Amino acid sequence: MRKRLLYTGGTLLLAILVGLVVWQSSFSFGNYGPASPEGILVVWGVSTLIFILTVTLGFMLARSFVKLWVERHRNREGSRIRTKLVLGALLLTITPVVFLVVFSFGVMNRNLDKWFTRPAEDIKMDLVAVGLAIDREALEKAAALADWISTLPQTAQAREGTGAMDSIQSVCLDRALAAVVIQPIGRPPLRLCGQSSAGRRTVEARRGDVLVTTLLPLDLAETQRSIQESVSRYNRLNGEKKNARNLYLQLLTLIALFVLFVATWLALFLARQISVPISALLGAAQEVRRGNLGFRVEVDAIDELATLVRAFNEMTRELEANSRELEQRRQFTEAILESIPTGVISISAEGQIQAVNRALKGLLPADKVDSAMTIKDLFQPEDLAEIRYLMNRARRLKVAASQLELRRDDKVMHLSLTIAALEDRLKPGFVIVLEDTSDMLRAQKSA
């Protein structure tokens, strides 16, 4: 069973790790990714560090939560306060983190909307309109030149077959024409003029059998190329808007989880600083309750808890010293009671016998003294009534005394009975002192 649980836990942890690795590897920066090797290395290092810290803290927190759950179900001391501290820290941390994530996501959406909203779209449309106007103007110019060239004498000669190559070269140079070609029906094309167009944009126009290719001016071509690049870049950015939003949301989620993990770990650490000393103090209190006054709290504590632990140890040390002194006094008192000739009985307020001395067995039957549990077991009913009367009187006067006659072995014993009330103790009771005055009375009668 234990191996099965171990294998199951290992498989679950492996699946979680694989899921985290796949989740992190699914991040894509798109066009926002670093371009230089140094930037890629920095992003990789930071991402790896966050991943390692998150996984490590996740294991630590999972272990701590499992231990906390087990301790709470076993009702261990300190588990409830640890649970409350952890939950309180999580609530205090989750609230600002959630607001921060929501606020950041809202700001990002607003910025993206501002970048790709109507003003930006209007600029894009204006750029497209300018580009189309440039193309239209160049095409109209090329068409006009084609109409004009078709009316030239050189063009007519070329149609009749008497024209020569490059017959209007000066026109091409003056009008910035890349080429003028006549394509008569049934004969091969004839080039009337031309010049190099390498690296420059051209526009073609046809009028009948005349094909004119014009060169755009350098500044106009550069402007149109810049407009086209700007429009293409804008379209690419607009297409990456959703990817940028998803990437930013993933990064915010990862950072928020990391912050929550750190906050939970700190809460567990602080809770341990409080719960461990409290648990140790509770355990020490139970030991003291059992009578082990020599028990001391040996735990590392800080601040006021350290003062509390030190005060508890000082208290138990003083209690142990007082208990030792009381034990010595008790032994001394017992020694005195055992050595005096008068009988002493200590009873509770209900009449339960708590202690007797050895001299009592000389006044009352020894077997009765050994087996007696209450005061009723030692005296006859008529004597017991007198004793109860003296007990009630002693409650008022603290001490009450009287004479009592007892019969033992066909002899009459004259006893001096003194009862003292002990009302100041935690458990009130009485002390009964019996003194044999038979010899003294006989001596008085003889005298």
pLDDT of residue 7: 44
Whether 390 and 400 have beta carbons less than 8 Å apart is answered as yes
Lowest-confidence segment of 1-5, 19-23, 162-166, 349-353 by average pLDDT: 1-5
Residue 254 falls inside a structural domain:
no
Residue 224 falls inside a structural domain:
yes
Lowest-confidence segment of 111-120, 279-288, 408-417, 436-445 by average pLDDT: 111-120
pLDDT of residue 3: 46
**Mean pLDDT of the region 209-217:** 73
Sheet holding 343-348, edge to edge: 353-356, 343-348, 429-436, 411-422, 399-408
pTM listed for this prediction: 0.45
Q: How far is CA 77 from the centre of its chain?
A: 21
C-alpha dihedral (433, 438, 440, 442), degrees to nearest 10: 170
Quickly tell me which residue has 């006549």 as its tokens.
182
Single out the residue in 217, 236, 255 at which a domain terminates. 236
Residue 184 falls inside a structural domain:
yes
Single out the residue in 206, 221, 236 at which a domain terminates. 236
CATH number, domain containing residue 377 = 3.30.450.20
Q: How confident is the model over 307-350, as pLDDT tens digits?
A: 888 888 888 888 888 888 888 888 887 777 777 778 888 888 88
**Roughly how many angstroms between the first and final C-alpha of the chain, as a whole number?**
96
**Mean pLDDT of the region 260-268:** 75
Lowest-confidence segment of 17-31, 73-87, 280-294, 388-402 by average pLDDT: 17-31
Q: How confident is the model over 91-134, as pLDDT tens digits?
A: 777 777 778 777 777 777 766 666 655 555 556 566 666 667 77
Residue 369 falls inside a structural domain:
yes
**Total domains present in the chain:** 2
Quickly tell me which residue has 């926002």 as its tokens.
32
Sign of CA dihedral 234, 240, 245, 248: negative
Q: How confident is the model over 20-34, as pLDDT tens digits?
A: 555 555 555 555 455
Q: How confident is the model over 35-63, as pLDDT tens digits?
A: 556 656 666 666 676 667 667 766 766 77
User: Does residue 112 or residue 90 have the better pLDDT?
Assistant: 90
Residue 306 falls inside a structural domain:
no
Q: In the predicted model, what is the mean pLDDT of the chain?
A: 72
Q: Is the per-residue pLDDT at 259 higher than 70?
A: yes
Residue 308 falls inside a structural domain:
no
DSSP string for residues in 401-423:
EEEEEEEETTEEEEEEEEEEEE-
pLDDT of residue 17: 55
pLDDT of residue 391: 86
CB-based burial of residue 350 (10 Å sphere; 0-12 exposed, 13-18 middle, 19+ buried)?
A: exposed
Secondary structure of residue 345 in the 3-state scheme: strand
Range with top average pLDDT, 8-17, 150-159, 222-231: 150-159
Q: How far, in Å, CA of 391 to CA of 192, rounded?
A: 150
**Mean pLDDT of the region 248-264:** 74
Residue 37 falls inside a structural domain:
no
Residue 407 bridge partners (DSSP): 412
Task: Tell me 36's DSSP state.
Answer: S
Residue type at 320 in one-letter notation: E
pLDDT of residue 76: 62
Q: How confident is the model over 390-425, as pLDDT tens digits?
A: 888 888 888 888 888 777 666 777 888 888 888 766
Sign of CA dihedral 314, 319, 322, 328: negative
Token pair for residue 194? 């031309």
pLDDT of residue 6: 47
* Residue among 109, 123, 399, 79 at smallest CA distance from 248: 109
Q: How confident is the model over 63-75, as pLDDT tens digits?
A: 766 766 676 666 6
Residue 193 falls inside a structural domain:
yes
Q: How far, in Å, CA of 156 to CA of 163, rounded?
A: 8
Single out the residue in 189, 219, 236 at which a domain terminates. 236
Question: Domain range spanning residue 385?
Answer: 340-446
